[in-house]
Structure 1
């Protein structure tokens, strides 16, 4: 044990030394090349701005974006349109992709609907290239960046609530503008130093290499926008030929799949299916675009001429190409969404049988966003409620098939009881309820995204309902022991116990069917009043032993506590 700890410490120390060595080498390079430092600073500011922009939009939306996307997934065409529009607004296909994965993991949407949303996100991300080509490279953004940075920094640390979110939004936009300006300066300084004319595409191996450059750049920076910004800037400054720039843009599209794949590694089968769909779509689209690169470039030239673009407006032409080949991919893949979903379901099947202690919906991907986290909690709490229903049926010595789904019948209650056939509620509780309750509480503790007041109240209500349901099971455990002791047909308490079991069965049935608190508790209230009067009468007539009467009083009390806990728990669908 000590040797393993020492070995781990040495590995950590070695890794830190390598990191420090790498930082030192990078610092030396940047100090010796101010132009490279300017370019790297611009890239860093751009990525920082993107992260702030995404965070601020998530905070300001207050779950609205989540609900909007969720509602759109019911129809493929609508899902594509809403996915494209949402990505254009937030300028982050990664955010929409992770949202879609969260929806699928939480069981809130179907796989085909999420795939269509993903297709739309790919189309929406092309708006970033249009914005950079239209404004970022044609205007001096630094003069707009400084006021935005000043307002954003002051507001972020002085304001709270929605105003702080607006300040974060301004700060993110300011950093984006400043990053773009720095990168333009860096590339202008490099104008005569580095050129990529050698990769003009004259040799066949140039094309896969150019695509690979786009893939690697996007993977390293975790942003296709950053890759496209670098490509557009190099194209605008004449350091990169037009057709090779198109190939790099294709590679940037492939690189975006890495975010989905990384997000699915620790997620369940549903998230892996969606990540697989992302990979399939982007690879298929990239392959078609690369094969049709020259015809698509001709089409871009023709369309550019029709709308009045200059022949040398290369950045705008690249943005148009980026949009066209993503549209082409959607047109080709849309008819195959259903087939793709079924293939992925076979490729990444659900576990044949989940362990009794394992949650089904509490996937780590659902923690990325408020609505999906709350939705996953709601789904899992419903599962726990259904287990509790079945266990409560065991507590009153009735098969759940005779209680849940249709009104309970008296003959089921009057049937002979074989005590050995009924497992102890306490053992089943520790096998099936308590571990799942622990997972639910642990998942709730891990929710670390901004919640609206409604969402916070919903989580608190779910927790309260679940704990009351568990409380009812614990009361059922005490009641079951008494019912089993007096299960014989000739037992003096069998008649009262049968009435008690029937009342609880009717209450459970009404709870499962969505009945009100009064409807759930009414049968037991009637039985309790009847047997309190009947017990007093039998005691006076010496037909009931006082010891047994006290047992019956305790059973009625336990049943009342059980039903009170259930009546306070809203019914679960």
Structure 2
């Protein structure tokens, strides 16, 4: 069956590749025949490339600072909106802030309402891009500044490393942005004598949704609302596009930005999907209000522009003002509904009723986008692994975990009768519940490919060392369990010593679960070991203990000591 399907699939891929090649050839022919379009397309490509390099450089230079800053801000909705707006204004990428917020929610670092407020602020902050392009990008010869930035960035990117390499990447990204804007200005100026868009007056009601749709499509195709706004602003400044249609296209660009969140949520968990849903709902609601009030908002923009002294024909600046006003209006309308929106999304996207035993809960692919969320996801998943290991170690000493974890174990717990058939073998349960989760943790750590600070690297190293010690302890527990099951009968000569040993290990596990590191964990088993070494010598002399049983007990005490030693943190005093 599979062999028969392969040729068809190969033929389909070949036909698709042929169509793609044909499309590229047609596009190349069009661009060669139209230098104006070629210049415009080159400018757009340079702009998008610059945005990508700028995001990478900012993530590299922040070293987790941006992540921690945004995480702290989400404790209060008003603060989250302000910080989201400021962060987006600084990095000029609402997509970066959106993916950060999704990473936080997926890793369990922030609650959904705080992340929603952060997204509201990111939407407001992204409007600063329109202001920068309208006020600076369309007035100055940016190519004059782009060339030295490109030269420094290219040389530094391939010759420098560390923070200096990050600064070089930042310069290169800004240089490409400047050059892209200048190329698009040149392309529209050349185009001005050819095709004109003056007929797009948009004087009918049904025209506005078409312009909004054009903004959505442009943003989805280019994966950047900044690029859509840049095209719109450049066309508006060159007289290629009337004012009111440009406002409608800006509304569509706002909706198109939700595609990034939706695409990011497809491979992420439930929490990220909830946040993507909030992003879509907010942008759709804001766009609907802005479209319904398009003419009144245009009047308001004219009034504010006159109040602050803008020229009547300063259309690009008015578009930037409109972009800010309708996003601000959306925040004002949606802010009182954040809690209800979060409740609705949690109901709409519920958590799975039960996770599979080997399924990781926090190792969401969205957490890999940023250092803090990746490390936090690792820490939380390793804690889950620890809890499973604690329960399995309780089985190794034939004690219910409820008698060990949560309160100090009591003597009566080890003196109850033992039914060997009721206890799962450590080795079988390890392969069922521990090893698969451990494999997911190690695979996730191998996929972390973002710059880490020295502190974050140390945290990951400690997590890995602790996890490996836990697995080593389980191996000792497996050997210990076999002996305890062999001598579990009430009248066994080793039962008394084994009860002391089990109680000592249980006490150590309890202290470990309560975060009492160091010598306090090993103290109970050390005391039991010293006592029974003396007691064995006494019983061997009086012939009350068989030498072979004494050998077994010595080995069991040694395995118990190794188990506890593996669990103790070697860095503790």
Higher mean alpha-carbon deviation, 46-55 vs 7-16, is at 7-16
Which secondary structure does the structure 2 equivalent of 1:321 belong to?
helix
- Provide Cα deviations, 1:457-511, integer angstroms capped at 9, x if missing partner: 2112111111111111121111111111111111111110111111111111111
| Equivalent residue, structure 1, for 2:332 | 331
Counterpart position of 1:4: 5
- Does 2:65 correspond to 1:68? no
SS in 2 for 1:238: coil
Distance 2:428 2:113 in 1: 41
Q: Deviations over 1:206-233 (max 9, x none)?
A: 1110000000000000000000000000
Task: Give runs of ≥4 in structure 1 deviating > 3 Å.
Answer: none
Instruction: State the secondary structure of the residue aligned to 2:418.
Output: coil
> Which residue in 1 is equivalent to 2:465?
464
Does residue 23 of structure 1 match 2:24? Answer: yes
- Equivalent residues in 2 for 1:422-571, closer than 5 Å: 422-568=423-569
Shift of 1:35: 0.3
Q: Deviations over 1:4-51 (max 9, x none)?
A: 222222122112111111110011000000000000000000001111
Deviation per residue, 1:286-340 (Å, 9 max, x gap): 0011111111111111111111111111111111111111111111111111111
Partner of 1:107: 108
Distance 1:379 1:260 in 2: 24
Deviations 1:40-73 (A, max 9, x none): 0000000011111110011011111111111111
Q: What is the CA–CA distance in structure 1 between the aligned matches of 2:258 and 2:306, rounded to whole Å?
A: 33
| Gap regions ≥5 residues in structure 1 | none
Report matched runs for 1:73-472 at 5 Å: 73-472=74-473
Q: CA deviation at 1:568?
A: 2.5
Report the 3-state secondary structure (helix = DSSP H, G, I; strand = E; otherwise coil) of the residue aligned with 1:197.
coil
Q: Is the 8 A contact 1:362 1:377 kept in 2?
A: yes
CA distance in 1, matches of 2:552, 2:117: 62
CA distance in 2, matches of 1:335, 1:520: 51
Distance 2:470 2:549 in 1: 29
Deviations 1:221-266 (A, max 9, x none): 0000000000000111111111111100000000000000001111
Q: In structure 1, the residue corresponding to 2:193 is in which secondary structure? A: coil
- Check conservation: 1:250, 1:286, Cα contact below 8 A: yes
- Paired with 2:5 and 2:496, the residues of 1 have a C-alpha distance of 66
Shift of residue 570, structure 1, vs aligned partner: 8.5
The CA RMSD over aligned residues, in Å, is: 1.1
TM-score (norm 2): 0.98
- Whole-Å separation in 2 of the counterparts to 1:157 and 1:266: 33
Contact 2:517 2:569 in 1 (8 A): no
Deviation by residue 1:546-571 (Cα, 9 ceiling, x = unmatched): 11111101101110110011112789
TM-aligned CA deviation for residue 198 of structure 1: 2.6
Measured in 1, the distance between the counterparts of 2:374 and 2:240 equals 47
Q: Deviations over 1:411-446 (max 9, x none)?
A: 111111111121111111111101100100111111
Shift of 1:98: 0.5
Aligned equivalents of 1:501, 1:233: Cα separation in 2: 77
CA distance, structure 2, for counterparts of residue 196 and residue 207 of structure 1: 15
Of residues 177-186 and 458-467 in structure 1, the stretch that sits farther from structure 2 once superposed is 458-467
Superimposed CA distance per residue, residues 141-194 of structure 1 (whole angstroms, 9 cap, x where no aligned partner) = 111111111111111111111111111111111110110000001011111322
Shift of 1:2: 2.3
Moved more, 423-432 or 245-254: 423-432
Asked whether the equivalents of residues 396 and 426 of structure 2 are also in contact (C-alpha less than 8 Å), the reply is: yes
Q: Hey, what's the Cα distance between the residues in 1 that align with 2:79 and 2:570?
A: 37
Unaligned runs of 5+ in 2: none
TM-score scaled by length of structure 1: 0.98
Between the aligned partners of 1:197 and 1:212, the Cα distance in structure 2 is: 19
Q: Deviations over 1:111-141 (max 9, x none)?
A: 1111111111111100000000010001111
Q: Is the 8 A contact 2:305 2:311 kept in 1?
A: yes
Work out the CA distance in 1 between the residues paired with 2:188 and 2:16.
Answer: 33
Kept in 2: contact 1:465–1:569 (CA 8 A) = no
Kindly indicate whether the alpha-carbon contact (under 8 Å) linking 2:89 and 2:128 is maintained by their aligned counterparts in 1: yes
Distance (Å, rounded) in 2 between the aligned partners of 1:183 and 1:111: 40
Q: Secondary structure at the match of 2:184?
A: helix
Whether the aligned pair in 2 keeps the contact of 1:468 and 1:569 (CA below 8 Å) is no
Q: Distance in 2 between matches of 1:98 and 1:196?
A: 36
Number of equivalences? 571
